[in-house]
Amino acid sequence: MAKLTLTPNIDLPDDFYAELIEAHDGLTKTESDALNARLVLIFANHIGDRAVLAEAIRVAKEAG
């Protein structure tokens, strides 16, 4: 079974983080929420594996 990656996995993390925040530049709260929802769906489909997705939801809920 595939496993959720919870160790660093993105090259140049500062660049990606800046890119993510910049994507929201100039957006209203409503537009930002919509963008986030689209991103979640795109990421989720890319992952595909239901067990990994369920694990990601669990990890995200626990960290809040």
Instruction: By CB under 8 A, tell whether 50 contacts other proteins.
Output: no
Instruction: By CB under 8 A, tell whether 42 contacts other proteins.
Output: yes
What is the rounded CA–CA span in Å between residue 21 and residue 58? Answer: 24
User: Looking at 2, 13, 15, 33, which residue binds other proteins (CB under 8 A)?
Assistant: 33
**Contact by Cβ (8 Å): 56, 2:** no
Instruction: By CB under 8 A, tell whether 34 contacts other proteins.
Output: yes
What is the rounded CA–CA span in Å between residue 62 and residue 64? Answer: 6
Contacts with other proteins by CB under 8 A lie at 33-34, 37-38, 40-42, 45
